[in-house]
Homo-oligomer: A and B are copies of this chain.
Amino acid sequence: MQQRSEETQTKIMESAIKLFSNSGYNKASVDDICAEAGISKGAFYHHFKSKQKLFLALLDGWLQTIDSAIDASKDMTAPESFTRMTEAFPYIFETAGDGLPMFLEFWLQASRDKKIWDASIAPYRRYHKYFTSLIKKGVDEGSFVEVDPELASRMIVSTAMGLLLQSLLDPKGAKWEKVARESTTMLVSGLLKK
């Protein structure tokens, strides 16, 4: 039967997210993950060849979420797509509270581990290209003011990453969903032609 197997795998991944978020990739040991998931080490290595493979599986799942979100807004006009994201951002802050530290963990591991870097930087560059083309499209359509799409894309991504980081490090320092919503509004209204 696959059901039990599937459940075990899900439990491992959920426990891993929890422990990686709380303690970090290195500190969260395979034994810890097994204990949290309520399974044995044998079961763990039956499902994942190594600890790193588990990490890559988690990364993959996260990237797919983003990909499908981008796909969903593929046929919209440029301002529409941005409006969508303006709506999506506060949602990320509200719901992702648990998994958020994982982002940081992804970035950190990516900066040191070539395999993880390859798996995460390639998609990141895709997103940047997507943003760039989206802004370029908006400029060509005449709905955006004339900006350097490349630069504007970097700035938008930077602001988003920076807000995520700040909310991670100082969760109670501000009402981050509000700051995020207002920031995106400011950025978009700065782009839009009046």
A residues with CB within 8 A of B: 22-24, 26-27, 101, 104-105, 107-108, 110-112, 117, 121, 124-125, 128, 148, 150-151, 154-155, 157-163, 165-166, 168-170, 173-174, 179, 182-183, 186, 190
Complex partner residue of A165 from B112, B148, B165, B182, CB under 8 angstroms:
B165
CA distance A150 to B179 in the complex (A): 9
Q: Which partner residue on chain B sits nearest A186 by CB separation? A: B155
CA distance A101 to B101 in the complex (A): 18
Q: Which partner residue on chain B sits nearest A161 by CB separation? A: B162
Chain B residues near A125: list those with CB within 8 A: 170, 173
Question: Is the pair B159, A121 in contact by a Cβ cutoff of 8 Å?
Answer: no
Can you offer 10 A-B residue contacts whose CB atoms are under 8 A? A27-B112, A101-B111, A104-B107, A111-B169, A151-B179, A154-B166, A155-B183, A155-B186, A158-B160, A165-B165
Given the known interface contacts A161-B165, A165-B107, the answer about A183 and B154 at a Cβ–Cβ threshold of 8 Å is: yes
Chain B residues near A27: list those with CB within 8 A: 26, 112
Question: Is the pair A163, B154 in contact by a Cβ cutoff of 8 Å?
Answer: yes
Given contacts A107-B165, A121-B170, A154-B166, 8 further A-B contacts (CB under 8 A): A22-B112, A24-B26, A151-B182, A155-B183, A158-B159, A158-B165, A158-B166, A159-B159
Q: Which partner residue on chain B sits nearest A179 by CB separation? A: B154
Q: Which partner residue on chain B sits nearest A173 by CB separation? A: B125
Query: Least Cβ distance of A125 to chain B in Å?
Result: 7
Query: Least Cβ distance of A54 to chain B in Å?
Result: 18
Query: Least Cβ distance of A121 to chain B in Å?
Result: 6
Q: Which partner residue on chain B sits nearest A190 by CB separation? A: B190
Query: Least Cβ distance of A172 to chain B in Å?
Result: 10
Chain B residues near A174: list those with CB within 8 A: 150, 154
Query: Least Cβ distance of A173 to chain B in Å?
Result: 7
